[in-house]
Structure 1
Amino acid sequence: MRKTAGPRAGEVIHTPSARRLKYGELAAEAAMIPPPAKVVLKNTDEFKLIGTPVRRLDVSGKVNGSALYGIDARPPGLKIATLAQSPVFGGRLKKVDDSAAMAIKGVRQIVRLDDAVAVVADHMGAAKKGLAALKIEWEDGRHAGLSTQDIARELEDATLKAGPIAQDIGDAAKALAGAATRVQASYHLPFLAHATMEPMNCTVHFRGDECEIWVGTQAIARVQAMAAKATGLPPDKVTVHNHLIGGGFGRRLEADGAVRAVEIAKQVDGPVKVVWTREEDIQHDMYRPYWVDRIEAGLDESGRPVAWTNRFAGSSVIARWLPPAFRNGLDPDTTEGAIDLVYSLPNFHVEYVRVEPPGIPTAFWRSVGPSHNVFVTESFIDELAAAAKQDAVAYRRALLDHNPRAKAVLELAAEKAGWGTPLPQGRGLGVALQNVFGSHLAQVAEVEVAKDGSVRVHRVVCAMDCGIVVNPDTVQAQIQSGVMFGVTAALYGEITLKGGRVEQANFDTYQMLRIDQAPSIEVYLVKSAEPPGGMGEAGTSGIVPAVANAIFAATGRRLRKMPIDFNALKT
């Protein structure tokens, strides 16, 4: 092959003859060329596409309705089902009177399972009416008396006992003993639901010797494997058609909804789409774990931290979801954001105590382990700045001489937010800094606290160094959505249990951030030649402590438990 000029718009051009060939037309011949021993990568200044904003190709379909989500699957002969599962996790179905349900027009069949009952109908309206007409008796089982307070006490007790060491630097115990000032705190983070906009759903056609599934999933191989187990079929007899998902946030990494649909479909002749009501979704989610941290630091005479210890307790999702990654009582998800902090901390000790709550299924939730850990570490570093009577940004900056990337995003966010500019009474700025998912992010939140205790997040300024930016539009969108998700959790997110039952049921009791409550969000990207980092979750983990720290700046009241207790902020 003769030497040619450089590529233009996906083509290779032969300069003397001006002939052009697309990359694909040359792929077979290029594959036969031995790869060079050393490849000199293009300098980032020479990039023509990487780093330029490009519109997504899937937007038009999502806007005009032509895009197909899992809930849009409609194989021929489809019936619709909805279900009720035991209101107490681990409970069982005792008996059902279905006479009134079967009299409803459009209801075709009642399916009974060990811990659930489903109504199969011609359409969702009939299925819901049929479900409401059922007279169901449940056996609640051993978790009938469980409450959130029970779980919190168990976790608090667990933090009094030693656990596997996640990171140990220097001699934290000795440094604490000799510190001029000691600061202690205990933090609580609640169970959280995913509340995806598209209801949980799965369509299944079980034919006895094969099974066909239509679903929107984040883990298609997991759906296939668990459906094969539920049917007793080999995996190659289970076909899964994956679709777009109307919000996953980790919920659709799980295959429980598909397995439930398979269990129902095994009793139905023809394809059946199982759609969870919003109440069923929120009360039978797999939740972000409840966490309790017991944390302490020692400061020298100048207020600089000389020791940091943290022992936290909660569920390990990795231990269930990917057991080989849980080793020696630790896993990388549970500890990310609690160890390898951006700050210079000469004596540092972190332990994790695994405690699985009784009867409550836990799962990944957007920003996973850092959604817990960054709230604790960034709230606590703010507490240390306050104890040292120093500015929160200046205090952090003084601990970042060894970390220029972290210092750069901190300074950029503070500058763009107008840090240090006087604000009206009742308003405050709060900052959070993190290096998780391979990206450095600083966020400054401007928050207003009214006399009645209500909180309004007016503005969020974000400075991001995620390495090489491929599409800045996508980075900005991911940070914006992550901030909205995190502000929702800060203000409203909490799943509680009473009598073994989840108390929240729909968006009236598990509230989402409304459009008129949305803050303005500014995103500033640092030009970087470092390898690309993760973007989909970073915006969520950092905004919660930024909001909490802003509330402290506005009111002087420190929040160590989420969501925000508005009553505690009343003046």
Structure 2
Amino acid sequence: MSQGLLDAQNGAQPSEARGRGLSRRTFLKFGVTVGAAAGGGLLLGFSMPAASQDQKAGKSVVGGDGVETPQSGVFAPNAFIQIDTAGKVTLVIPKVEMGQGVYTSIPMLIAEELEVPLDSVTLDHAPPNEKLFMDPLLGGQLTGGSTSIRFAWEPMRRAGAAARTVLISAAAQQWQVDPASCHAQAGQVIHAASNRSIGYGELAEAAAKLPAPQNVPLKDPKDFKLIGTPVKRLDSPEKVDGTAMFGLDVRLPDMVYAAIANCPVFGGTLASVDDTNAKKFPGVRQVVKIDNAVAVIGDHTWAAKRGVQALDIKWNEGAGAAISMQQIVADLAHAADNGNGAVARKEGDVGHAFSNAKSRVDAVYQQPFLAHATMEPINCTVHVRADGCDIWLGSQVPTRVVDAAVAVTGLPADKIVVHNHLIGGGFGRRLEFDMVTQAVKVGKQVSTPVKVLWTREEDIQHDMYRPYYYDKISAGLDANGKPVAWQHRIVGSSIMARFAPPAFKNGLDPDAVEVASDLPYDLPNQLVDYVRQEPHAVPTAFWRGVGPTRGTFVVESFVDELAAQAKIDPVKYRQDLLGKTPRALNVLNTATQAAGWGNALPQGQGRGVSVMHAFGSFFAIVVDVAVDQGEVAVKRVVCAVDCGMVVNPNTIEAQVQGGIIFGITAALYSEITIKDGRVEQNNFTDYRMLRINQTPPINVHIVKSTEAPGGIGEPGTAALAPALTNAIFAATGKRLRQLPVGSQLKTA
């Protein structure tokens, strides 16, 4: 999910919304409700604004927990805190945990203002309910776009502060003292003058009867005790000892297992299948046919897999069998050279500026299809009955899971129950629900719960891929080598047109042009446009870093080209263009100073840099590489990040390091190629991953900031590739305009 979607949902163009802080743009209105929880206790709900006009009438609905909350619209409830009579604090969390650390950092926001120990906050997965759990930044109940902390920063703290205020009021009434003479600490209200204290649990029922406080002040950051401190991940112990529950771990009474054979050709369907041999294997129960796949149902995974291997399947390959990489790239190139694009940014007179420029630089950049290849392969467990359907999986979009099941079963939405779990890697793949549609189709023909599991080969060959992008970019330079004209055309698939049609307006995909349409550099004449070119039947989807990954590679590689053309150091060249973006300049200076920019390197080694503003954060990365006979070894990565106020520095460091490793892998090795309508890669043997012994030291420098938090899960990946390829240029003099590096360097 991208900033472009966030801006589109808030009615702004990417260039308009980029520079505004989150608190000014979104968290302007806030509502708190207090009520009695089922079984006694305090239930606190909080809400944020959304954009729908028909919801601004202020109508209310009652959630399943009995709390009256405004409809999705002006106030769209996101989460609830429940404090029971034993003092237990439960946070129903609207974001899912897929390794990014939100199951630690979001509770830290609550615990800080509520004045409770972090380990006393327990979590429940939020059920699918966009009225209660909508993220107004994303326009739905989604986890993506590096928005979790940006979404939670103010509302979660306000919820904690409001609960604390109510509890103090309840204690003061009981003691008949001024609330101002009381304070909260470690889950208790304390009246120091009389040396009295009382636990939150004892106050919960009384607090639930009090009116909701309005405009509760938040802590001054200088008074934070928890926020900003390094905290160990709360979910680490169970992930280490194996008790954590991912979708893959689901075990149910009478559950059977399904192995899948999907049609290998894009858009193909099932013609016929001979399952005689498959049914001979012990443990094989049945063979299920659906429109574009065959499933073998077994008592265990091994039986199901052996059964699939024994099937004799004939496919209707259709027109998809003619799809090839040559055709896809030729179509993109043709689209880039013909017709007008949808304008994403236009400033000044580009044509006039080019005619007066002293020199001109032109380039074409290409980036391949990419698979997600998450550690946890695609899986979905379902139990479809006449009166209902239960689904167990890890999903970034629980409400879309419900919609998918409704479409297949015809059941009403309230008969679909989603059991969401921890996610073993999302990267955008689990923003999709194709696996749910397939599993429910299989489950309709199976009488017991069935776990549908894709092999790694099926996962890689039937992914929904990061689009293949084709960029044409040009700049005109003045006598000093400074850019005075800038023209950039982006050509590729539109994910938004499929995933969020309202965000795709007038032919413009806001995700595809992100970063490119709002550069941190001072460029007086710009024209950035977009041409949609779909790759026939190849399905495309978000991939970690989405638009900024594509945009940053092109822009930061090209800026390096301009610096080389002007014979100016690439860091100095950027510094001269960043005077109007001090946060970007600051991270650039921090990273380059920490990396020792300008120090000599051994022959065959090079150092490269990139700068990025995306996801509300500012990044600069410096990469050192060694190149030997076409093989690239990344020796060191130094990163500076300004992501605004820091909640948990441990999480930031881990996310940046993980994102950079993900980015190195993609830049060096990753590509999906297509021949005869089929994906040629099938496993980690030919869709390579970075090995532990290839992983460089990664030094992360967090820049102190008082701005509202920015995103952190994706920027490391998005900013990495150009710093890497710029380092290769410094080492070899070879300019790489196409990824991955491994397939290009040897022929460059």
Both structures adopt the same fold (TM-score exceeding 0.5): yes
Q: Contact conserved, 2:736 with 2:744, CA < 8 A, in 1?
A: no
Q: Distance in 2 between matches of 1:296 and 1:454?
A: 30
The one-letter amino acid paired with 1:144 is A
1:222-241 CA distances to partner (integer Å, 9 max, x unpaired)?
Answer: 10111111111111111110
Partner of 2:310: 133
Tell me the residue number matched to 1:436.
Answer: 614
Q: Which amino acid aligns with 2:312?
A: K
Amino acid paired to 2:691: R
Against the structure 1 CA distance between its residues 41 and 79, is the aligned structure 2 distance closer, same or farther, given a 3 Å change threshold?
Answer: closer
Task: Name the SS for the 2:630 alignment partner.
Answer: coil
Deviations 1:77-131 (A, max 9, x none): 0000111111111111111111111001111101111211110001111111111
Which one of 538, 544, 550 corresponds to residue 715 of structure 2? 538
Tell me, what secondary structure is at the counterpart of 1:448?
strand
Deviation at 1:28, TM superposition (A): 2.8
Do 1:4 and 1:12's aligned partners in 2 also have CA atoms closer than 8 Å? Answer: no
Pairing partner for 1:376 from 529, 535, 554: 554
Instruction: Determine the C-alpha separation between the residues in 1 that align with 2:336 and 2:560.
Output: 22
Deviation at 1:310, TM superposition (A): 0.3
In the alignment, which of 371, 392, 400 is matched to residue 193 of structure 1? 371
1:291 to 469, 475, 493: 469
Distance 1:18 1:56, change over 3 A: farther
Partners of 1:22 and 1:399 lie apart in 2 by 57
Matched, 1:35 2:240: no
Q: Report the secondary structure of 1:166's partner residue.
A: strand
Letter in 2 for 1:65: G
What amino acid sits opposite 1:483 in the alignment? I
Instruction: Provide Cα deviations, 1:482-516, integer angstroms capped at 9, x if missing partner.
Output: 00110000011100000110000000011111111
Which amino acid letter does the alignment assign opposite residue 720 of structure 2? I
Give the drift of 1:40: 5.8
Count how many residue pairs are aligned between Structure 1 and Structure 2. Answer: 568
Partner of 1:311: 489
CA 34–374 in structure 1, closer or farther in 2 if over 3 Å, else same: same
Kept in 2, the 8 Å contact 1:102–1:108? The answer is: yes
Taking only aligned residues, the RMSD between alpha carbons, in angstroms, comes to 1.6
Q: Which amino acid aligns with 2:241?
A: N
2:687 maps to what in 1?
A: 510
Contact 1:156 1:292 in 2 (8 A): yes
What TM-score, normalized to structure 2?
A: 0.74
Match for residue 363 of structure 1?
Answer: 541
Give the superposition deviation at 1:332.
2.7
Distance 1:408 1:112 in 2: 59
Secondary structure of the 1:303 match is coil
Q: Give the equivalent residue in structure 2 for 1:420.
A: 598
Gaps of 5+ in 2: 1-171, 173-177
> TM-score, structure 1 length as denominator?
0.97
Tell me the residue number matched to 2:458. 280
Map residues 243-282 of structure 1 onto 2, 5 A cutoff: 243-282=421-460
Structure 1: which amino acid aligns with 2:730? A
Q: Distance in 2 between matches of 1:269 and 1:33?
A: 49
**Separation in 2 of the partners of 1:118 and 1:490?**
35
Q: Does 1:404 align with 2:577?
A: no
Question: How much does 1:559 deviate?
Answer: 0.5
Does residue 387 of structure 1 match 2:565?
Answer: yes
- Partner-residue secondary structure (3-state), 2:577: coil
Question: Structure 1 30/526 Cα, relative in aligned 2: closer, same or farther at 3 Å?
Answer: farther
Equivalent position of 1:78 in the other structure? 255
Identity of aligned residues (%): 56
| One-letter amino acid of the counterpart of residue 352, structure 1 | Y
How many Å apart are 1:337 and its aligned residue? 1.1
Distance 1:526 1:282 in 2: 38
The 5 Å alignment of 1:2-151 reads 2=178, 3-22=180-199, 25=203, 28=207, 32=211, 34-36=213-215, 42-151=219-328
AA of the residue aligned to 2:330: R
Q: Which residue of structure 1 lines up, in the alignment, with residue 656 of structure 2?
A: 479
Preserved CA contact (<8 Å) 1:453 1:567: no
1:44 Cα offset (Å): 2.7
Deviation at 1:570, TM superposition (A): 7.6
How far apart, in 1, do the equivalents of 2:697 and 2:209 lie?
49
Supply the distance in 2 between the matched residues of 1:467 and 1:23 (Cα, whole angstroms): 32
Residue 99 of structure 2 is matched in structure 1 by none
Note if 1:163 corresponds to 2:341: yes
Point out the more displaced range, 532-541 or 26-35.
Answer: 26-35
Structure 1 residues without counterparts, runs of 5 or longer:
none
Query: Cα deviations across residues 424-467 of structure 1 (Å, max 9, x unaligned)?
Result: 111111101000000000000111101x2000111110100000
CA contact (8 A) 2:490 2:513 kept: no
User: AA paired with 2:597?
Assistant: W
One-letter amino acid matched to 1:430? G
Q: Highest relative contact order (Cα 8 Å, sep 6+), 1 or 2?
A: 1
Give, in angstroms, the shift of residue 325 of structure 1: 1.4
Higher mean displacement: 549-558 or 324-333:
324-333
Displacement of 1:313 in angstroms is 0.7
- Separation of aligned partners in 2, 1:294 and 1:283: 29
Matched to 2:688, the amino acid is Q
Q: Contact 2:669 / 2:742 at 8 angstroms: preserved in 1?
A: no
1:163-211 Cα deviation digits (max 9, x unpaired):
1100111111211111011000000000000001111000011112211
2:603 pairs with 1:456:
no
> CA separation in 2, counterparts of 1:234 and 1:33?
35
8 Å CA contact retained: 1:374, 1:434: yes
Deviation at 1:46, TM superposition (A): 2.7
Q: Cα distance, 1:555 vs. partner?
A: 0.5
